[in-house]
Structure 1
């Protein structure tokens, strides 16, 4: 039986897509905005710009002083933040319903008139903030650059997903005020944006309020790049090893996957869950519990929209164990799974975990608003929040097996190995 969260959608004359989902259970409203710009939209020499704007958007706009966005909404009891990813940038706040118009006014001012405040001083300041973030989250953390290495190993040079959202500090240093103004003008436009209201608001009131505050922002129609050509699985294994001062060896086995929201991606995602995404998964049972050569196993699939997605298995190796033997055991299980597919119990467990996660996510007003924006912006249908589980349940064991045989083959792996200093392994 499909879920039935109310979903209402309308497009304003300037191209802005608006989604309203009433929920009177608490007297709050979540305002969630997705802009169709992430690191995949950046060009060589201009990486890190999407993430930079996540910071610049809080540094003031035409009528709002630097830092005032946070201060004004937190004074009303609001919660707010922003994130950047490969496919989008999003801005979100949950406020008491009486503060919704303040939130809309603040958002409209920065989405429509940010560049009034983007000057050399603000650019320099936020460049320094991003550099410090990179030092703390990437450079000074054990395994901190591992995923950056995964992206660069799985996706070819020049591909939209080859570089991380943090971008290149050299590119940011080289950026002028004119460069960042041009990037904002290119991507921050009504026809490239979704505004979602989820919470204690009537449908027509929600549409009217968004039009009141965002309707004046000028349309900026232009041809936007479609998805690049689809990437198939890697034709042969690729490998990157780093020896660093880390607590233990860690292996990342990464694979290209089909694009998000397709039956093939759903099947590959369930395959990864059955292999290593659950406490009962076969890699956990074998490597952690029975053979005790891995400290932990984690497997997941990340759905992307630009021609390919990403799946990976991460294994922390017991310090005394043979890292090459751990990898070989994973390859054995991949080969076995590609032939036999999941057992009934494995598929049931993977589906049950997916259902629990999905329902838990939708139970949160903030996360439901985020899912509505995601489906509206990336897939053109916010109502898919209500049918996602039905599509997942329709996946057959044969489809899961076939997805593993196509996308999760040992010969299609990219291995990023972080080896504890003083150790070195040789893997054929």
Structure 2
């Protein structure tokens, strides 16, 4: 059973928090380090800095030149990557268990010595990579900037979540090398990180390696006060923007403010969105795609956030020449009906089973478990909460789901983005 896996917690003298979990079912080990830094920490003119470090951390450190981090891990039969979000940056490897020391040394080397390898050449390379990624994933993709536009509407100007992690090219081009170095010295430090190792490990030996490689890295002991992400529960009015673009069909996207992650109401909202738009058995898909045939896809998802209201993300693409007004009318009709009648017992049971399967899938691998342990440690202060998260979801009642829908999935609590293709103008 996954829940029988032991977790031990340790803290080095420099503040690094360590979470270890032995699992001898497979001869692999997952190393995952979360830094408590994300786009919410970026000040004016510095958007995209965290994402830039997602690239720079793989471009060499004092002891590992160029692409050496990838070459060493992949040469040992492992896999690796990194991601950034509004609330954290994480770097991770999964390696054969007998190569665990290598993975730990690599992570420690870039935490402790990355600045020695960052110069103008590395900065120019990272800028180019991020600019190309933005073009490929956002600017030159149909509907690619939709989420960015909605985020900016739901979280007002000046709010730490107003901009998305990808940031702007203008800020990336303007930031100086010294600003980048100062950002690293502030946030990519032992006292601002959680290191989790899960898998076929010996706890004592692993801790000894961590002390050996990470123990001498210094921490600043202070950093800027985190900007407040608080907002009213409801937006208070409907925000709208119409976009005319080179897109294949009309579309309606919307974002709703929802309760913060870690609250019971957030789990209720997750179930509501799953019932309404979580796959081809959902209410919106059955109504708009199957019955009315005015859409080719209709989905509803949840972006969980711990430092600000969560975001409920609606995405509907039109079929044929169906109008955006028809799409919105059908969506609103289903939301009103759901807020009035709520989920049926069968719908709630299916949604809970769907979220349970997804949760267990994440915990079934050592890499997924390491990531979740880091998440609960960084965002909620306690990795042991990983074991109670599913139980909270499974005890939500139909009344709680209905109440969340009635309060939050309403017109005066959303930003709406409509797309019209150029060929219709």
Q: CA deviation at 1:5?
A: 2.9
Distance 1:57 1:381 in 2: 27
Paired position in structure 2 for 1:65: 65
Distance 1:233 1:338 in 2: 16
Render the CA deviation track for 1:155-206: whole Å, top value 9, x for unaligned.
1011111111110111111111111011111111111101010110022222
Paired position in structure 2 for 1:333: 334
Within 5 Å, which residues of 2 pair with 1:18-33? 18-33=18-33
Within 5 Å, which residues of 2 pair with 1:146-165? 146-165=146-165
Paired position in structure 1 for 2:420: 419
Within 5 Å, which residues of 2 pair with 1:211-290? 211-223=211-223, 224-225=225-226, 227-290=228-291
Give the SS at the match of 1:422: helix
Paired position in structure 1 for 2:307: 306
Q: Do the aligned residues in 2 keep the contact of 1:227 with 1:305 (CA within 8 Å)?
A: no
Give the SS at the match of 2:3: coil
Paired position in structure 2 for 1:3: 3
Structure 1 residues 2 and 78: alpha-carbon distance in aligned structure 2, compared to 1, 3 A threshold: closer
Q: Do the aligned residues in 1 keep the contact of 2:36 with 2:88 (CA within 8 Å)?
A: yes
Within 5 Å, which residues of 2 pair with 1:24-423? 24-223=24-223, 224-225=225-226, 227-423=228-424
Q: Which moved more, 1:26-35 or 1:215-224?
A: 215-224
Distance 1:333 1:2 in 2: 38
Distance 1:181 1:175 in 2: 11
Q: Which moved more, 1:10-19 or 1:222-231?
A: 222-231
Q: Do the aligned residues in 1 keep the contact of 2:32 with 2:197 (CA within 8 Å)?
A: yes
Structure 1 residues 392 and 227: alpha-carbon distance in aligned structure 2, compared to 1, 3 A threshold: farther
Q: Which moved more, 1:63-72 or 1:275-284?
A: 275-284
Distance 2:41 2:317 in 1: 33
Q: CA deviation at 1:153?
A: 1.6
Unaligned runs of 5+ in 2: none
Q: Do the aligned residues in 2 keep the contact of 1:33 with 1:90 (CA within 8 Å)?
A: yes
Distance 2:22 2:251 in 1: 45
Distance 1:111 1:240 in 2: 42
Q: Do the aligned residues in 1 keep the contact of 2:38 with 2:89 (CA within 8 Å)?
A: yes
Q: Do the aligned residues in 2 keep the contact of 1:338 with 1:409 (CA within 8 Å)?
A: no
Give the SS at the match of 2:71: helix
Render the CA deviation track for 1:365-384: whole Å, top value 9, x for unaligned.
21111111111111111112
Q: CA deviation at 1:226?
A: 6.2
Structure 1 residues 396 and 227: alpha-carbon distance in aligned structure 2, compared to 1, 3 A threshold: farther
Give the SS at the match of 1:62: coil
Q: CA deviation at 1:219?
A: 2.3
Render the CA deviation track for 1:130-172: whole Å, top value 9, x for unaligned.
1111111111111111111111121101111111111011111
Unaligned runs of 5+ in 1: none
Q: Do the aligned residues in 2 keep the contact of 1:14 with 1:215 (CA within 8 Å)?
A: yes
Render the CA deviation track for 1:280-327: whole Å, top value 9, x for unaligned.
211111111111111111111111111211111111111221221111
TM-score normalised over the length of structure 2: 0.97
Give the SS at the match of 1:274: helix
Q: Do the aligned residues in 1 keep the contact of 2:22 with 2:199 (CA within 8 Å)?
A: yes
Q: CA deviation at 1:32?
A: 0.5
Q: Do the aligned residues in 1 keep the contact of 2:2 with 2:363 (CA within 8 Å)?
A: no
Give the SS at the match of 1:13: coil
RMSD in angstroms over aligned alpha carbons? 1.5
Distance 1:5 1:398 in 2: 34
Paired position in structure 2 for 1:14: 14
How many residue pairs get aligned? The number is 424
The runs of at least 4 aligned residues of structure 1 exceeding 4 Å deviation read none
Q: Do the aligned residues in 2 keep the contact of 1:231 with 1:256 (CA within 8 Å)?
A: no
Distance 1:137 1:309 in 2: 23
Q: Do the aligned residues in 2 keep the contact of 1:267 with 1:400 (CA within 8 Å)?
A: yes
Structure 1 residues 407 and 361: alpha-carbon distance in aligned structure 2, compared to 1, 3 A threshold: same
Render the CA deviation track for 1:335-373: whole Å, top value 9, x for unaligned.
222222211111111101001111111112211111111
